[in-house]
Amino acid sequence: MQYETVIGLETHAQFHTRSKMFCGCKTDFGAPPNTQTCPVCQGLPGTLPVVNRTAVELGLRAALALRCHIAPVTQFDRKNYFYPDLPKNYQVSQNYHNLGVDGRLEIEVDGQTRKVGIWNVHLEEDAGKLEHPEDTGANYTAIDLNRAGTPLLEIVSAPDMRSADEANAYMNELAAILRHLGISDCKMQEGSLRFEAGISVRAVGGEEFGNRVEVKNLNSMSAVVKAIEHERHRQVAVLESGGTVPSQTMLWDVQREVTEPMRSKEEAKDYRYFPEPDLVPIEISPEWLDQVREQMSELPAVRRKRFIAELDLPPYDAGVIVEQKPIADYFEQTVEQGVEPKTAANWMMGEVMRVLNERQCEIDDLPVSPPMLAELIGLVTDDRISNSVGKTVFSEMCSSGKKAGEIVEEKGLAQISDSGELEAVVKQVLADHPDAVADLESGKQQAKGFLIGQIMRATRGKANPKLAGELIDRLTGD
């Protein structure tokens, strides 16, 4: 029998705000434990929450980008359950009047466009972190409340995905949107983007969904992809052997790359949601929505299409560049300086990304501005320096923050395009390599490449290779 996988994803993204959802504590990652808390996010008795307006507006951006219906009046509800990382033993979330409902996200897989339904988009607060001491003898768990109260966006998709590839495309597109609109920095390694997957399998063409297995602890996109593959094999094997897959919650074991049933007792969950009485409803007027729309930058999908149509970029290049908004912005600003788009794209995907990778930094951290990059590319395209010297100059710019012209000047890297100056070098090289000259004269064209290489070496890369070739031709009387 042929099976298909049915996948729905719940995504939690930490908002890119300065302060927490309901108090003024910072949301910085990596601070020493319990140094970014106050009576409100510690859940001390008597304290009250006040909503961070920016978090609501960023949530609205997401809801609009995902084509949701926006609630005219939205409100917070309390989700009641006991857990040590939740100091109030309830989470302020949304249940009855979500910020946005019934949206969709278009993804592209193998050149095909698919629509994934979005059930709802809502706001909530993050919980603290439980740390298990590395000392294996330790008989306790430590609680760090720095993360407690960090604003979170939850995006619940419909079970519309049918393969790990589709889930992967969905996650990437969603992350691109969240980054592009300044909603979340989506740093998986810092936990600012987290997933839970609902996975089931059924016979192809079946009407009914199979029993759903919820997989938690998915802290990277590749974990989601692997977990889907793993579950698909596991569930199909169960069905093939005549068994049934129980509905249950599983944890992804990152080391062993398997799903494991949750060890703790599976209580019947009764969250007793009710309207949070410490907060008042939020009315979203059409005027407010218009303001939010005005602040929204172009969506990644639109931008990709524009880069392809207007800048004549190959679809692959557009995809790579648009994936991260700062890269796409940088690219556009470079093009605005008059650089030919495909050339600018080659530089972005080549040298720029190589340096970012090497240095593990963001493009905004580079001391090279788009006009500075444009100047450098200009020097190369005008043959003032060779391509390889251009790469060296770029590295130097990234280290020193100096302009390309300055570096070329200082280090004397300008291409030798003066035939008089170069002729002396060429003559010397020809005199030093009579065998190669003989080969060339007997028609072996490879010998010419060798000679040019020697000329480049002698000039430390500064020789204009085209001119050098011409000079060889002339001086060997070919």
Partner 1 sequence: MPELIELSAGDLHRKLMAGDVTARQIVERYLDRIEQIDGRVGAFNTVTAEAALDKAADIDDRLDKGEAVGPLAGVPIALKDNLCTRGVPTTCSSRILEHFVPPYDATVVERLQRADAVLIGKTNLDEFAMGSTTEASAFATTANPWDLSRVPGGSSGGSAAAVAAGLAPLALGSDTGGSIRQPAAFCGVTGLKPTYGRVSRYGLIAYASSLDQIGTFSRDPRDAALLLEVIAGHDPRDSTSAQEPVPDYSAELEKDVAGVKVGLPREYLAEGIAPDVEAAVRAAADTCRGLGAEVIDISLPHTEYAVATYYIIGTAEASSNLARFDGIHYGRRAAGKMDVDELYSRSRSEGLGDEVKRRIMLGTFALSAGYYDAYYLKALKVRRLIKKDFDDALAGVDCILAPVAPTVAYKQGEMIDDPLALYLADIYTSATNLAGLPAIAFNAGTGEGGLPVGVQLMGRPFEESGLLRLAHAFREATDHHLARPNLTED
Partner 2 sequence: MTRITTDTVEQVADLSKLILSDEELAGFQEQLDKIIGYFEVLNSLDTTGVEPLAHPLDLRNVFRQDTVEDSAPREDALANAPDKTDEAYKVPVVIESS
Contact between 56 and partner 2 per CB under 8 A = yes
Name the burial class of residue 332, with classes exposed (0-12), middle (13-18) and buried (19+) by CB atoms within 10 angstroms of its CB.
middle
Name, in order, each residue with C-beta under 8 angstroms of 190's C-beta and a sequence gap of 6 or more. Answer: 29, 30
418 is a contact residue toward partner 2 (CB under 8 A): no
Q: How far is CA 255 from CA 63, 115, 226, 325, in A?
A: 35, 33, 12, 32
- Within positions 41 to 60, which residues make up the interface with Zn ion, using CB under 5 A? 41
Listed in sequence order, the residues at least 6 apart from 420 whose beta carbon sits closer than 8 Å to its beta carbon are: none
CB 170 within 8 A of CB 157: yes
91 lies in the binding site for partner 2 (CB under 8 A)? no
Per DSSP, the three-state class of 357 is helix
Decide if 131 contacts 144 (C-beta within 8 A): yes
Structure tokens at 461: 């890369």
Q: How many CB atoms lie within 10 A of CB 340?
A: 13
In the complex, the smallest distance separating the C-beta of residue 40 from partner 1, rounded to whole angstroms, is 8
Residues 6+ apart with CB under 8 A from 116: 104, 105, 106, 107, 157, 158, 160, 161, 166, 170
Q: How far is the CB of 27 from partner 2 (least distance, A)?
A: 9
- DSSP summary character for residue 416: B
7/23 with CB nearer partner 1: 23
Residues 23-52 that bind partner 2 (CB under 8 A): 23-26, 32-39, 42, 50-52
Nearer to partner 2, 55 or 225 (CB): 55
Q: How far is the CB of 297 from partner 2 (least distance, A)?
A: 19
Q: Is 282 in the site for Zn ion (CB under 5 A)?
A: no
Q: Which does residue 249 touch among partner 2, partner 1, Zn ion, none (CB within 5 to 8 A, set by kind)?
A: partner 2
Among partner 2, Zn ion, partner 1, none, residue 47 binds (CB under 5-8 Å by kind): partner 1
Convert residues 59-78 into a mask of x (bound to partner 2 by CB under 8 A) and - (unbound). Answer: --------------x-----
Pattern 11-40, Zn ion, x by CB under 5 A? ------------x-x------------x-x
Q: How far is the CB of 50 from partner 1 (least distance, A)?
A: 5
Select 208 or 267, whichever has its Cβ closest to partner 1.
267
Asked if residue 396 lies in contact with residue 474, where contact means CB atoms within 8 angstroms, the answer is no
Q: What are phi and psi of 343, to 5 degrees?
A: -65, -45
Name which of 38 and 416 has its Cβ closer to Zn ion: 38
Shortest Å, Cβ 25 to Zn ion: 3
Site residues (vs partner 1, CB under 8 A): 39, 42-51, 78, 80, 82, 84, 87-90, 141, 143, 145, 270, 272-274, 277-280
Q: Which is closer to partner 2, CB of 266 or CB of 340?
A: 266
Contact between 131 and partner 2 by CB under 8 A: the answer reads yes
Shortest CB 262 distance to Zn ion, Å: 30
Query: Which residues in 13-22 are b (16+ Cβ under 10 Å) and which e?
Result: bbbbbebbbb
> Least distance (Å) from partner 2 to the CB of residue 17?
5
Judged by beta carbon, residue 48 or residue 262, the one nearer partner 1 is 48
Site for partner 2 in 282-341 (CB under 8 A): 282-283
DSSP three-state, residue 179: helix
DSSP string, 259-326: EEE-SS--PPP----EE-TTS--EE--HHHHHHHHHHPPPPHHHHHHHHHHHS---HHHHHHHHTSHH
Stretch that binds partner 2, among 153-161, 258-266, 372-380, 412-420 (CB under 8 A): 258-266
Name the minimum Å distance from CB 265 to partner 1: 9
CA distances from residue 58 to 61, 157, 303 in whole angstroms, order as listed: 5, 19, 20
Minimum Å gap between C-beta 23 and Zn ion is: 3
Residue 248 as a binder of partner 2 (CB under 8 A): the answer is: no
Residues that bind Zn ion (CB under 5 A): 23, 25, 38, 40-41
